[in-house]
Amino acid sequence: MIQTLCYYLSEHPLIVGFRWKHSQSWGNTWVFLFTSIAAYVIFSVFLHLFLLLLFRHRRPLPLGPIPAVHSLSMALISFTIFAGILLSAAAEIRDTRWFWRRYKTTPFQWLLCFPLGTRPSGRVFFWSYIFYLSRFLHTFRTFFTVIRRRKLSFFQLFNHSILIFMSFLWLEFSQSFQVLAIILTTSIYSVVYGYRFWTAVGLPSKCFHFVNHCQIVLLGCNVVCHVGVLLLHFLKGGCNGIGAWVLNSVLNGAILFLFLNFYVKLHLEKRKIGVTKGPETVDSVKDKDN
């Protein structure tokens, strides 16, 4: 069983022979990237305005089991990507260890800093491609929020759009740090979407703003790893895709700023409600991180 899983997650010919090429991979052109992001933003705004005009009240619209099914699917997809890229990274380390010894490079350094000239092919880039495609499924949460609550936040649109854009840059420029970034992101998302499925089916939630806390952990780990990439770039003579990494860092910084701003406002709102109306009313904002 374990050998079969390892084969299908890291040794299958489709995974080993993967190439990021316009003729072989779906959705890998700049036109597709910007068109899909624009379509996502336009459709989200249109849906939001249409529902506001159609329903004057702001009472939640039922979606049935759809959010729960989506959360369960995303949890399973995230865990599969996590297991796949972890096994694939281990296989790449095993197969190229001789090369790293020659240039005095450790596996951890490779996770942060690809050697110059790295091409987007092989095991880890296959799972990077699957991660890129999964970002489009992630955007469905925006539509759920709009339909159920008639709310559309700039942070949500910006965050989802930038995640798609950054995932594309990872593949297009063979950017350093992407393996570790995907491992961190999918591990956190497996837990986050598992928690969302848990609450969506009506099971009790005891952790207040659990999703927000997980996102803070993820953003904090990204900041630490970005510092490591910068140090290795100057100490090791350069990391592959450093130009895309710089843009990635700027966009991550913008996401971090917007998220911290949102988190502070949410915390202040919780304190204000708790002071003015008592602890029983705090539960009314408990599900904002879902």
Element of type H or E holding 162: helix 154-172
The reported pLDDT for the residue numbered 276 is 52
The reported pLDDT for the residue numbered 273 is 60
Contact by Cβ (8 Å): 269, 285: yes
The reported pLDDT for the residue numbered 116 is 84
Q: How distant is the alpha carbon of residue 218 from its chain centre?
A: 10
The encoded tokens of residue 220 equal: 């904090």
Q: How far apart are the first and last CA of the chain?
A: 35
The reported pLDDT for the residue numbered 284 is 37
The reported pLDDT for the residue numbered 198 is 86
Contact by Cβ (8 Å): 130, 195: no
pLDDT, mean of each 10-residue run, the chain (290 residues): 86 91 81 95 92 76 87 95 94 74 72 86 94 94 87 86 93 91 93 88 69 79 85 84 88 81 70 52 39
3-state secondary structure of 114: coil
The pTM for the full model equals: 0.86
Q: Where are the domains of the chain?
A: 30-267
For residue 44, what are the CA distances in angstroms to 7, 51, 132, 150, 156?
40, 11, 20, 11, 10
The reported pLDDT for the residue numbered 286 is 40
The reported pLDDT for the residue numbered 274 is 57
The reported pLDDT for the residue numbered 185 is 92
**β-pair partners for 19:** 121
Which residue in 127, 126, 91 sits closest to 110, CA to CA?
Answer: 91
User: To which residue do tokens 């990872």 refer?
Assistant: 170
What is the three-state SS of 241-281?
A: CHHHHHHHHHHHHHHHHHHHHHHHHHHHHHHHHHHHHCHHH
